[in-house]
Amino acid sequence: MKKNMKSCFIAVAILMPVVVCSVHAASLDDMNMEFAGLCSSGQYQEALVLADQATKVSMEKYGPESPQVVVWLNNLALLYNAQSRYADAEDSYKKALAINEKIYGKTDQSVASSSEKLGWFYFMRGRHEDAELYYERALSIYKGDQPANESHIADIDNELGELYYLTGRFSQAVEHYKEALEIYEKVYGSYTDRITMLLERLYELYYVTGKYKEAENMYRHALEICEITYKEDSPVIYRSLAKLAELAFLQGRYDEAASMYKRVIKINKEILDPKDPHIAYLLIKQSEVYGKMGKTGEAERLQKEAQKILNKS
């Protein structure tokens, strides 16, 4: 769920409004196009010099507390971050936030946007308390006009879910992931990778907290999506089936678990090397199911088959 900073930077830079005037009398359009070109070609040092000039020119042309300056402060922050100049990046983000607060007030959408950027910055630096503070602030502002900001709300919920997951606050993580899931399904539809990733994370949370029925519901939903999106022998399909088999086993539904493991083993034998240790692992899991069902002979046969594979691998 981590954002790729470099791709994030390029996307932002290319979409930035035209706000720069050149110290060499080039047009604003030319300067902006040059900046975008430098970013897209990975020439970040040159882009940084240009962005610094653009920030100063914007201050002279529009005033030190103007939306145009905010744009370039955000660009500078991303460039500093790309070069591991984290103190400079933080300073630029905070200056942009302060300007937005002065221009628009503390509950404006621009303030939410600046807070979200700072939340992302702190999250990527592992400063979870600071990230939580700014993410929660942005979320509160966006929720004041929810219909217009649903994608922002879902994105922040997703990040907060990850933050709470990483810091062991599982109930809060579930709350935010579920809210993100509901919005993403509404905005993007039910059959996207974005939805699958959230379902997998919710599965993990329910699994580690012993809520096997809830975990199973998440993975059945994920399997539905995968069966539409991928072929039956796709690794995504057999991983989903294996997890559902394990959940059925943990809940005492041994016939169902045995049937699922049988299907997973069949798929793996068709697409993997016969000596692949993963097949042995699945055979052992199925033997455990048969052991619980009292099918000792079948369990022993599978254990021997698994051992032969492990001896050859």
* Confidence at 72, pLDDT banded by 50, 70, 90: very high
Question: Would you tell me how many other CB atoms lie within 10 Å of the CB of residue 114?
Answer: 26
* Confidence at 10, pLDDT banded by 50, 70, 90: very low
pLDDT of 33 over the 50 cut: yes
CB 152 within 8 A of CB 112: yes
pLDDT of 186 over the 50 cut: yes
Domains present along the chain, CATH in parentheses: 1-104 (1.25.40.10), 106-229 (1.25.40.10), 234-313 (1.25.40.10)
Q: What is the pLDDT of residues 267-285, one digit of tens each?
A: 899 888 888 999 999 999 9
- Alpha carbon dihedral 152, 11, 78, 130, in 10-degree steps, equals 20
End-to-end CA distance of the chain: 34
pTM for the model stands at: 0.80
In 3D space, the residue among 116, 83, 114 whose CA is nearest the CA of residue 98 turns out to be 114
Q: What is the share, in percent, of the chain residues with pLDDT greater than 70?
A: 90
d(CA 294, CA 296): 6
Q: What is the pLDDT of residues 142-169, one digit of tens each?
A: 999 878 899 999 999 999 999 999 999 9
